Amino acid sequence: MSEVAEQKQSKKLKKAEFIPQKPTDVKELQKHLELFGYLNPNDAAFGAEQNRPPQPEEAALESLKTSFVEPGKMDEATVTALKKYQEFHGLDVTGKLDKETLAELDQKRCGMPDLAEFSTHGNKWSTNSLTYGFDNYTTDNGLTQSKIHEAIAQAFAMWAAETPLSFRRINNSASADIRIKFVSGTHGDGSAFDGQGGVLAHAYYPPPNSGSLAGDAHFDGDESWTINIPTGNGKVDLVTVAAHEFGHSLGLRHSNVNGSLMFPTYPGPKRYLHADDIAGIRTIYGGYAIENASWIHGTSIQVEFPERLDRITRAGFYTYLYGKANTTNWFHFALPTPVIKDQKRLKVVCAILRFRTFSAKAVVNHVHIYDGYTKIAAHNNLNLSGDNWFKKFGVAHKPSVHWGMGISIGVSFSSGTLNERRMDFVSAGCDLIN
């Protein structure tokens, strides 16, 4: 081997055996893991170690540490995310940036030099306050107008929670930015539907595009639409498909990231955004400027049906509880919410929950958001279990807050061991804008 070749080989090996030590290198790794959906970027919002809230019951809270991301530090959350990445890519699960993992990451980087896998159309709305309206409705599977309104608002709320955009329903659909309708076969836009199966829906990119059709979303009337989970054989989840279509209405194309909402394949019900979807939509519209963020500890939770719990314990700033098998329960947070700042009424972007369940035997199905006694958003049939350390639940129309925020959480506990029916509520909060 020539000297030059040896040097190259040595350099290659050095790179291949590279273990990140410098904070900037670890940050780079964390950036990769974020973009590929293995690390929740929002976890970093919980703060650096010195800014963490005190943990009075250190032993009990030990496992919660995996939720913290220290930017630039090879911490537990980063190692856990790296292990998930390795598992997904069929590598040895070491939690270390070994030669094989680095090669896999490098391969990804070569393909996508800017690291993004979403794709944008190029057009965008010139206003952040969008309206939508219904030309008609479907009555599939017992759907009513009010149920459809709630489902569509839930789909819009996913995008509202990450952007400056708001979506307000108006009665006169003809003057709405985004017109929604259920139609079969040819329906006047030159893109006929093909009957049951095949194309489920389609949506037009933002203006200037196709004149008045820009942004509109059409749902194939020959499909069997539902909002129930499980959907049942041959039925399609309206919320999931609507959220996907609205991604197009806002200017996103299909994503390459399997697991993202904008991935072309219908995954079955999926009622939340992937990190790639968030990165994509923020590329077009940016984020929102928080005016106030109100938080409350998990110990302040109110239980609707205490008799349906086997046990409930308040530990430090969080609450852990065990639901009785085959029960449902509701848990409530009342957030101390400022409503006026600088003589302006604040508006709500989203509610945020930090919680975990210990198995799929304890599942968060519903998150309802209130301003005083008025329900302003409903996220239904979510099927969330496991670690959810910074889960946002948007409010599509971002209304002004009048009386203060409340969050109600519907949880189902099925049969399993006591520990499988455990759930921790760590904190609840909301983002407010001006």
Partner 1 sequence: MKLFQFSLLLIAIGSSCTSHKKVSESANDIDINMIMQQTRIENQIGVLDFIKDIGKFAISFHQENTIDSQYTCIVPEASMIPAELKPGAKVIFTGLLSKDPSLPPPRIGGEQVFLLARLESIRLFINN
Interaction of residue 199 with partner 1, rule CB under 8 A: yes
Number of residues that bind partner 1 (CB under 8 A): 42
Contacts 24+ apart (CB under 8 A), 63-69: 64/318, 64/424, 64/426, 66/387, 67/43, 67/354, 67/387, 67/389, 68/43, 69/30, 69/39, 69/40, 69/41, 69/43, 69/44
Q: Enter the tokens of residue 24.
A: 């900037």
Give the interface segment with partner 1, choosing from 67-75, 181-189, 279-287, 412-420 (CB under 8 A).
181-189
Complex with partner 1: residue 107 or 415, whichever CB lies closer: 107
Q: Enter the tokens of residue 395.
A: 């409010």
Interaction of residue 119 with partner 1, rule CB under 8 A: yes
Place of tokens 């389609």: 202
CB of 337 to partner 1, least distance (A): 37
Count of Cβ atoms closer than 10 Å to residue 417 Cβ: 12
Complex with partner 1: residue 248 or 398, whichever CB lies closer: 248
**Identity (one letter) of the amino acid at 129?**
S
Interaction of residue 256 with partner 1, rule CB under 8 A: yes
Which residues ranging from 73 to 112 are in contact with partner 1 (CB under 8 A)? 111-112
Interaction of residue 195 with partner 1, rule CB under 8 A: yes
Contact 404, 388 (CB under 8 A): no
- Per-residue x/- mask for partner 1, residues 200 to 219, rule CB under 8 A? xxxxxx---xxx-x------
- Per-residue x/- mask for partner 1, residues 223 to 242, rule CB under 8 A? ------------------x-
Cα angle for residues 96, 111, 105 (degrees, 5° grid): 0
CB of 248 to partner 1, least distance (A): 3
Complex with partner 1: residue 146 or 265, whichever CB lies closer: 265
Pick from 73, 124, 168, 253 the residue near partner 1 by CB under 8 A.
253
Complex with partner 1: residue 201 or 409, whichever CB lies closer: 201
Contact 363, 411 (CB under 8 A): yes
Contact 146, 192 (CB under 8 A): no
Pick from 53, 264, 336, 386 the residue near partner 1 by CB under 8 A.
264
Pick from 53, 198, 306, 336 the residue near partner 1 by CB under 8 A.
198
Nearest Cα residue to 381 out of 364, 357, 395: 364
Pick from 190, 233, 343, 373 the residue near partner 1 by CB under 8 A.
190
Interaction of residue 181 with partner 1, rule CB under 8 A: no
Query: Could you say which of 28, 70, 245, 291 is catalytic?
Result: 245
Contact 417, 283 (CB under 8 A): no
Complex with partner 1: residue 58 or 194, whichever CB lies closer: 194
Pick from 117, 162, 177, 431 the residue near partner 1 by CB under 8 A.
117
Q: Is 245 one of the annotated active-site residues of the chain?
A: yes
Complex with partner 1: residue 239 or 407, whichever CB lies closer: 239
Interaction of residue 254 with partner 1, rule CB under 8 A: yes
Complex with partner 1: residue 6 or 194, whichever CB lies closer: 194
Give 231's contacts (C-beta < 8 A, 6+ positions apart).
Answer: 237, 268, 269
Interaction of residue 312 with partner 1, rule CB under 8 A: no
Give 425's contacts (C-beta < 8 A, 6+ positions apart).
Answer: 298, 301, 318, 319, 320, 321, 331, 353, 354, 355, 409
Interaction of residue 328 with partner 1, rule CB under 8 A: no
Place of tokens 């061991």: 417
Complex with partner 1: residue 192 or 312, whichever CB lies closer: 192
Q: Kindly calculate the radius of gyration of the chain based on its CA atoms and give it in whole angstroms.
A: 23
CB of 272 to partner 1, least distance (A): 16
CB of 109 to partner 1, least distance (A): 11
Give 11's contacts (C-beta < 8 A, 6+ positions apart).
Answer: none
CB of 202 to partner 1, least distance (A): 4
Contact 99, 16 (CB under 8 A): yes
- Write down how long the chain is: 434
Phi, psi of 361 (to 5 degrees): -85, -10
Give 417's contacts (C-beta < 8 A, 6+ positions apart).
Answer: none
Complex with partner 1: residue 123 or 328, whichever CB lies closer: 123
Give the interface segment with partner 1, choosing from 8-16, 54-62, 243-251, 353-361 (CB under 8 A).
243-251
Contacts with partner 1, residue ranges (CB under 8 A): 111-114, 116-117, 119, 121, 185-186, 188, 190-195, 198-205, 209-211, 213, 241, 244-245, 247-249, 252-254, 256, 264-266
Residue positions annotated with a catalytic role:
245
